[in-house]
Structure 1
């Protein structure tokens, strides 16, 4: 697609490699993964071998040491082909989990885990949400109690992306007795630890090929060296990394919205009513013009935010604006596009119906639209 500005020859070569990977390793198998509710484990290893995982990881930890723009290009190319489910899980691994290890991991933790994440040997998840907390991370109840040289972890998590495939989980847990944000820490938990249990792969209305799970921790013992950062620093770490996560959701939303627009325009050019293509009716063409204008604004602002992020200048407000605008636009756009398909849009065999379902969660995870508005309002 290449809708971002100031791209180099190296960027174009990377895009081409991502596009080739999608055509060979994703497109032929996507419908099977959607039906099974999970991608194959081999996809992770193939993506690692192709250089699609954790592009920003420095060479000293087994990565290519690219700028974060390469991460966003992976998302853009996958969503630009309609494959938002698989790239959602890749993004959690590459854009969220890797960021915590890079920013807060010890040298030993980085050397142990980052090369495996780059190769796809280790799939990583982050366990924040609990059944009773939702967006209120300060209310978590999962506890990691220090006992000698270990932490004993008890609690449960839900809506965890990569939960079925995860080999390593960054668990948000309470290590102190303080209420609220104080006393929250991040602890690394290997899936092989006794007492760690995966729940069911949750049945969602969209993103079917992106596994999403419940996770349970029953007296899970990990060494104290599995603490990520320092005790009590977890909430601050979460807040500092969320702008990057919200930016990647914005990229996914604008890419998926553009794909929905493109296939709808093609359909409207081919579908006739009363002797002419339905795109020739002024009511329809004007609505498409509005959507095209909204997309142009969204792409431009996301492009601006990526540049700011690479300079270390992306603010929480701008990340929230990008996430709010692009996810709300995606929802509005796919709803209107489905309408243009008429009765066929309500049929599962038409791709627009899947895009409609896939769009809904974009306004929820990574911070709901309501939370985004609250955050933006603080900077008025």
Structure 2
């Protein structure tokens, strides 16, 4: 029997706003609103878009061994992480495959907040608790609502709501009041913030935000086109447990000194993979004429398989199609074609992001 879809604390508000709802990561989520995906996307790029991301999981790890526990779970030295800074990182398996990608914030006093993907929540929690048994720490899943406010006017909108964010730089976060967490992070390539707060306070706060004429609700459709233009990987599409950070083009998130001598899970396998060299890699592609969706086969001029599109779609800001793909190293710089039911579409390799990031440094 199929499990019923979960609902976020803002579900009724989405329905009331006319959202088209659909299943995502076990939740009934807004796919788009009456404004439509294209206009939602462009509004976020020019003003401020509000996203319900309450399906994501917040886990706090605290205690004397908190930094050591994080450094076993993730490939970085948590003890060296500055107070209030956010770190993009991963959970790796013993083959150096990516269990999940996540952001860890140092809250101080031996406390770290981990924000994990909704689709990985169950396995992530089990993984964290299994590793934490070997450390003097407490692990707690924090029940809270979670919003993202993204776009060039996000700072002004939040400031008008009495939240002092003007001094925050990209990839920093903190606790402005009890039960709240705010970080200058996001998944759109734009400047913006992610705000965690108690579930019983979120409806009033969301109403105050959307009452501002500069703010529009944004659904999962535009969230996907925004992140793809920004060249940001989506777990389950571009990342999985058979993909290493090296293959995914994310090795930059692991310090050089740890790539060959780390104490994290998967360190030995990652070191070996780096020494052996990549057999495949993630690249950006621009399809000729039309979007090519994730899952499409890629071939070379001779028709031999060379990889797959992992994410693809149309970029409203780019004003054209775009795709991320995993391809054989030997084929990365040669002509590549998408094979769509026997019809070939030329794919031109390009640098990512497709649209430049705009972050406050």
User: TM-score normalized by structure 1?
Assistant: 0.29
Richer in helix (by share): 1
Bigger relative contact order (CA 8 A; separation at least 6): 2
Richer in strand (by share): 2
